[in-house]
Chains A and B, each alone.
Chain A
Amino acid sequence: MINHGRNQRLFVRDIAHARAGDKGNTSNVNIWVYDPEDFELLKRSVTPERIKREFPRLVRGTVTRYVVEHLHGLNLVMGEALEGGVNASLNLDSHGKSWSYLILGLTLDTDEKSLQG
């Protein structure tokens, strides 16, 4: 399933595109693979557990992942992930619009062994 020959594909951005939106202090990022064959790789690479592990100071609440199987997309809903939200945050990007590129900047989990982990 995984083509190890395409080892130049290192980051989520190499296989998918994404857009971020905000509601209060909750951020959602939707992510779509260009090639349906990469969907399993995306699902393995972008999990709620990984988001919590990668960004513990930013993403403080619950992360829920909705899978839109037939369109090959994920919707990550990240609670308490906007430094208070647009009304309170002092981040220059108080809407967290750039969070899409936080996700796209994650490395891909191309190691098949991790399937057992």
Chain B
Amino acid sequence: MAKANGTFRIGTGAGFSADRLDPAVDLAKRGQLHVMVLECLGERTVAFAHRDRMADPRRGYNALLERRMRALLPACRASGTVIITNMGAANPRAAAERTRDVARTLGISGLKIACIEGDDVTKLVQPDQPFMDEPGTLADIGRPVVGMNAYLGADAIMPALEAGADIVIGGRLADPSMYLAPLMRHYGWQDSELAKLGAGTLVGHLMECGMQITGGYFADPGIKDVPDLADCGYPIAEVSADGSAVITKLPETGGRVNEATVKEQLLYEVHDPASYLTPDVTADFSRVMVKNLGEDRVRVEGAAGRARPEKLKVTVGFDAGVLAEAGVSYAGPAAGERGRLAAGIVETRLKETHRISSPVRIDLIGAGSLFATAGKTRTDSEDVRLHVALRTTEREQADLMLWEVESLLCCGPAGGGGYRGVITPAVETKSVLIDRGLVKPTFEILVT
């Protein structure tokens, strides 16, 4: 179908694994998009997905995959919008098969679903492999590996697009590469055009966290207000052939796009602005120009690029047991003192009575928790919550901690209430490097 104003239009329909769905459907219907990217994978997310797959070989992909596809496929089919996603996580093949099932249920025939594999390099990495950015090797962790995934770049996605895929599903596809690949294909950008690869990577970097550039994660009431965040719109990038782009969002959605929202995202999780490493390019954002065009439109241009890194980054996930958390609240006069008394009791019980060796942290929410290590605490709060956290590979210690905190209801200070306790699985991740030649991405197309 005809798309507005001659640019290549990419929208983001998810910026993390649990992102909203209804604004993505709105964007698919009204956005006149060439491509919608669903970015749903973090380093820890893929490790958790490997755990899911170990428990059930039919799982290991994004838990919201079926719901997202059911909601988005009709609109994307109608507008000819290609979906590119890393929702396959630890099991792209199962994700592609589930997507095919959803499409068939919806009565969509002839849909081409590409499944990209080859990012799982568990069999290729040796235990003596040194860490990428710290001393030590994989063997030093001493815990079971759940999975290892190499970051795949645009060169792994392009063949699937060239084969005419309507949906591209992979696992550890690098976030910006999901935006760069369709741009390279559409505009015919070559590997040697490093500035354009840098520009496409900038678009991907700005867009990959969804609403973080349209007013999400930005509001500070009275200083930087954002209208109607409950109905915030996902971002759209209108990209020109030279790689410059306008970041915007649908009319009649909440949120805001201005120079400030774009700048906060420009260096989000970036260290040296001149060296942002992806599998495709070493992107240079240090001279990017950000210009407000008004009406939630911001122009970005001026990214540069140098040669891509020689090796690919691999995320290695380990089973790290569980994280246990439990709490009790105190309010009214001397709430803080009663909370501190409770903290002391729990500490004594865990360390001296039960000889628990796992790391434990005790906070008093309302009197100093997030900033406790930074040295920022207060003593005048009349509403505090004891919060106890423990990491362990021994489930028994986690159960014991919850029991001790709950026992404060009868054995602790006066007026405590609102006990809650929860134990959740924990993973640990490390990064190593792998030779590109060892990683061989493949794709296969399933047709409905």
Beyond A26-B271, A92-B370: 13 further Cβ-contacts under 8 Å? A17-B223, A30-B263, A32-B264, A34-B260, A68-B267, A73-B267, A75-B267, A87-B427, A87-B428, A88-B391, A92-B365, A98-B370, A105-B376
Query: Inside 8 A of B431's CB, which chain A residues have their CB?
Result: 24
Chain B positions 264 through 305: 1 when the CB is less than 8 Å from some CB of chain A, otherwise 0: 111111111100000000000011111000000000000000
Query: Distance in Å from the Cβ of B61 to the closest Cβ of chain A?
Result: 22
Q: Does A91 contact B (CB under 8 A)?
A: yes
Chain A positions 16 through 36: 1 when the CB is less than 8 Å from some CB of chain B, otherwise 0: 011101111010101010100
A30 lies within 8 A of B266 (CB): yes
Which has the most chain A C-beta neighbours within 10 Å: B265, B267, B365? B267
Residues of A contacting B: mostly: mixed
Q: Roughly how many angstroms separate A19 CA and B219 CA in the complex, as a whole number? A: 11
Select one of A17, A18, A26, A92 contacting B387, CB under 8 A.
Answer: A92
Surface stretch bound by A, among B111-119, B229-237, B356-364: B356-364
Select one of A21, A70, A83 contacting B268, CB under 8 A.
Answer: A21
Q: Roughly how many angstroms separate A32 CA and B374 CA in the complex, as a whole number? A: 22
A88 lies within 8 A of B428 (CB): yes
Q: Roughly how many angstroms separate A92 CA and B260 CA in the complex, as a whole number? A: 28
Query: Inside 8 A of B273's CB, which chain A residues have their CB?
Result: 66, 68, 75
Known: A21-B268, A73-B263. A92 touches B389 (CB 8 A): yes
Known: A90-B360, A91-B361. A30 touches B267 (CB 8 A): yes
Query: Distance in Å from the Cβ of A55 to the closest Cβ of chain B?
Result: 5
Of chain B, the residue at the smallest CB distance from A102 is: B374
A17 lies within 8 A of B260 (CB): yes
Query: Inside 8 A of B265's CB, which chain A residues have their CB?
Result: 19
B residues with CB within 8 A of A? 44, 133-134, 217-218, 220, 223-224, 260, 263-273, 286-290, 320, 359-361, 363, 365, 369-376, 387, 389-391, 426-429, 431
Cross-chain pairs A/B with CB under 8 angstroms, 30 sampled = A13-B220, A17-B223, A19-B217, A21-B269, A21-B270, A22-B269, A23-B269, A24-B134, A26-B271, A28-B269, A30-B263, A34-B260, A57-B374, A68-B267, A71-B263, A73-B267, A75-B270, A75-B273, A77-B271, A77-B272, A83-B373, A87-B429, A90-B389, A90-B391, A91-B361, A91-B370, A93-B370, A98-B371, A102-B376, A105-B376
